[in-house]
Structure 1
């Protein structure tokens, strides 16, 4: 089913959180792309592997994470996919190019939409990878129009996660799959020091809260999904915050920080704080990372009529 976004209802005015997320990614788009290329997310390594010098294997590691999520969730070739929080189109272009999927990507950032559309045109995939500025909870798409919903490191920016799972269930066809990879927090109570660290990460990365992986599973089941499963990838992705891999330049001293904030806006500072905070979060065990998959139930077959 091909969905024409031009006919979809306009999204409501952005909330305060949505506006902050949009501003953050508009401000940092060139920083992320210059350092990390098309994938603005963690990398994935096998046990015993480590990042190459100067982030040399960043592309391979971030590509690997996309492939791991495809395999874990079971995204089928040729599927119609909604990419929630599509960024500049890295995942969407992989799904459209390597798997022959048709992908609709949505993001709050107008700058990301423009860049993703350009990248799709350059790759000759603009017929199968389309990008729109929209709130993931109010896209205007009709019921049951997607085979898969893909949310790679975007759910952390959505405050009402129960509403996200309900909307995903509405948009998926029966038998459709929800594929999530997300930053998470350890299940259970955190120490005061861990709680303070998590709050710093949330503030600098424009995120309202974190959920644990088991909480994500419970939310999916409560929304009506079945065959819900999660996998903890913390050990596989933790190298992403190794300074040699993250490649986030150091900004030395408060004066340099003030000048940067004056030139680009205060939101850009979160980009530079992310690395050390996340590295500490993984080291302490307060922060985790994992994937969740869930399937929309098929309708029960009608009982056969008696002769």
Structure 2
């Protein structure tokens, strides 16, 4: 599905400023998918989400002292983990003023205010000079973009030649059954998503914008457990969620989390590429 209109920056911010705090009460500060090695892996949510963050860090392969752009930085947890792991400087952008404030506060509390800055900016029109970053990542933010190809063009513009890019994103995997389409449409309609990307779309868009050495991994099997676990966790704070969105919508969100977890058309990719 492609929505008739693109979600506005305010729509995206509203998702995270509205139900985001409820999710954080049961999920912790790293509101991202988790990565489990296999079905027998009994890692906690904290371990699984940090493992996926570490996969992004490994793929980015940033070097000490480099300047990294975090596209859709949220409240800054992955950025601060990246800084601690690689001794880099991070500039995070988000369309939520609330997230800017929280991320800035977290950086200060971690003693990293001199290495991490966060600002309000739209990835469709980045306020940075050409070639001003050594690396960039988009951690579960691309699915909110009105035009992923345009965002990749902007990313290529602000990256220096040879700069690395890492992306983790929820995607659509075909062929899509009628039942699968219902689930994918629900995602778009309820999470400020215009459309879900595909592996083929990413391959073409990266090539068109001058990225080379592209490596794409479908890690759906490793992350699909996330939604079922999150549904169980959010169930424990159903009343808080219902206060925000109403009982019917709360039930729908929880039910569709569980359904999405077992819907093969709802996938997840991890990719790396290099700016030529």
Aligned equivalent of 2:263, options 284, 290, 298? 284
Aligned equivalent of 1:29, options 2, 16, 20? 20
Q: Taking structure 1 as reference, are residues 83 and 275 closer, same or farther at Cα in structure 2, changes over 3 Å only?
A: farther
Gaps of 5+ in 2: 1-5
Report if the CA contact (8 A) 1:44-1:237 is conserved: yes
Q: Taking structure 1 as reference, are residues 292 and 275 closer, same or farther at Cα in structure 2, changes over 3 Å only?
A: farther
Report if the CA contact (8 A) 2:94-2:121 is conserved: yes
3-state DSSP class of the match of 1:136? Answer: coil
Q: Taking structure 1 as reference, are residues 147 and 132 closer, same or farther at Cα in structure 2, changes over 3 Å only?
A: same
Match of 2:210 in 1: 224
Gaps of 5+ in 1: 1-14, 298-307
For 1:84 and 1:272, locate their aligned partners in 2 and report how far apart those are by CA, in whole Å: 31
Write out per-residue CA displacement over residues 185-241 of structure 1, whole angstroms, 9 at most, x where no aligned residue: 10x441222112210111111111001123212211111111111001111111112
Q: Taking structure 1 as reference, are residues 240 and 168 closer, same or farther at Cα in structure 2, changes over 3 Å only?
A: same
- TM-score of the superposition, structure 1-length normalised? 0.81
For 1:128 and 1:272, locate their aligned partners in 2 and report how far apart those are by CA, in whole Å: 41
Q: CA RMSD in A?
A: 2.4
For 1:273 and 1:75, locate their aligned partners in 2 and report how far apart those are by CA, in whole Å: 40
The answer to whether 1:233 aligns with 2:228 is: no
Match of 1:147 in 2: 134
Report if the CA contact (8 A) 1:241-1:276 is conserved: no
3-state DSSP class of the match of 1:210? Answer: coil
3-state DSSP class of the match of 1:44? Answer: coil
The answer to whether 1:114 aligns with 2:101 is: yes
Q: Taking structure 1 as reference, are residues 271 and 120 closer, same or farther at Cα in structure 2, changes over 3 Å only?
A: farther
For 2:228 and 2:179, locate their aligned partners in 1 and report how far apart those are by CA, in whole Å: 22
Which stretches of structure 1, 4 residues or more, deviate above 6 A after TM superposition?
268-272
- TM-score of the superposition, structure 2-length normalised? 0.89
Aligned equivalent of 1:40, options 27, 31, 40? 31
For 1:80 and 1:16, locate their aligned partners in 2 and report how far apart those are by CA, in whole Å: 30
- Aligned-pair distance for 1:179? 0.6
Report if the CA contact (8 A) 2:60-2:135 is conserved: no
Match of 1:194 in 2: 180
3-state DSSP class of the match of 2:234? Answer: coil
Flag the structure with larger Rg. Answer: 1
Aligned equivalent of 1:243, options 223, 226, 229? 229
Write out per-residue CA displacement over residues 238-257 of structure 1, whole angstroms, 9 at most, x where no aligned residue: 111233785112677xxx79
